[in-house]
Chain A
Amino acid sequence: MSFLFDSVGMPQILGLSAFLFSIGLYGLFTRRGIIAILMCVELMLNAVNLNLIGFDRLYVHDGGGQVMALFSIAVAAAELAVGLALTIRLFRLRFTTNADEADTIREFKDFRD
């Protein structure tokens, strides 16, 4: 248990990041609702951001990693906005938000109505 009381180093940050990413991966596999899946994707992106910021703060020190994390946050926000808009559109068309019920791309005429 001695490693718990050392100063915060890269292994602790990487461990936290890997654990959060694994939780997000579990949610991604087990949820059926699209909104819940998008929330798990956001959690995984946050875990990766923690990696970028940790490497920049502890090793590189020139701020490039933090700028990269900023870009990652912007791209994640854009992805979430488009994903939620698609979810609302799917709900209007099919009255469901479950990812495994949106599989009838063959019945295009029914899909339009």
Chain B
Amino acid sequence: MEILFYIFALVSIVGALGMVLSHNIVHSALYLVLCFIGLALTYFSISAPFLGAVQLMVYSGAVAILIVMAIMMVRRTDMSVSSPTQSLIKRFVGAGMAALFFVLMGLSIALTPLGAGESALPATEAADLAGLLLSRFALPFELVAILLLAAMLGALLLARGGDES
């Protein structure tokens, strides 16, 4: 399973880099879907199959469609340069800050003594997560339901335009 993890990680990294570097925002959205699919396969390879399925359905399904719909609802003149970037000096500063963050995180990962985890245990089934959601995490579960309802109504109101004639 190790080689599969590296292949899937490579897929998601290629998707993320393409998303950031593409000048066409539709291509960016499609690269983002590739990155999400790679991450879902990564979840499968570390034997978290329910989260992989949720990632496939929610992110590479619903979120991708939402983003593409929003792109289509916003009129643009020329699609080939539809994702403008900052000036070159700002891009260098941004790349420097992202690289600095990555180096700091890598140093802290390398210097932290992490015990050898046990990855050979049986995979987490959906029934285990369902039991947790309805017993130990019942209150956050209800709160998330309320949050999703409020977000749906709020998005409808905001996009529709309220009381304008």
Contacts and interface: CB of A to CB of B under 8 A. Distances in A.
A30 B114 CA distance: 34
A109 to B, nearest CB: 16
Contact of B20 (A27, A33, A49, A78): A27
* Interface size, B (range): 35 or more
A16 B12 contact: yes
B86 to A, nearest CB: 5
Does more than half of chain B's interface fall in helix, strand or loop, or is it mixed?
A: helix
Interface in B1-48: 1-2, 5-6, 9, 12-13, 16-17, 19-20, 25, 28-29, 32, 35-36, 39, 42-43, 45-48
A64 B71 CA distance: 36
B20 A58 contact: no
Interface string B103-120: 001100110001111110
B19 A59 contact: no
Given A46-B39, A85-B159, A32 B137 contact: no
Contacts of B74: 35, 87-88, 91, 97
Given A8-B1, A58-B119, A30 B19 contact: no
A14 to B, nearest CB: 5
Interface string A24-40: 11111111110110111
Contacts of A70: 51, 54, 129, 133
B158 A82 contact: yes
B144 A61 contact: no
A5 B3 CA distance: 8
A45 to B, nearest CB: 10
Secondary structure call for the A interface = helix
Interface string B51-70: 10011001100110011001
Interface of A: 4-16, 18-33, 35-36, 38-40, 42-43, 46, 49-50, 53-54, 56-59, 61-64, 66-67, 69-71, 73-82, 84-89, 91-92, 97-98
Interface of B: 1-2, 5-6, 9, 12-13, 16-17, 19-20, 25, 28-29, 32, 35-36, 39, 42-43, 45-48, 50-51, 54-55, 58-59, 62-63, 66-67, 70-71, 73-75, 82-86, 90-91, 93-95, 97-99, 101-102, 105-106, 109-110, 114-119, 121, 124, 128-129, 132-133, 136-137, 140, 144, 147-148, 150-152, 154-156, 158-159, 161
10 closest cross-chain pairs (CB), A and B: A58-B117, A29-B94, A78-B151, A26-B98, A18-B105, A22-B102, A85-B155, A85-B158, A85-B159, A27-B20
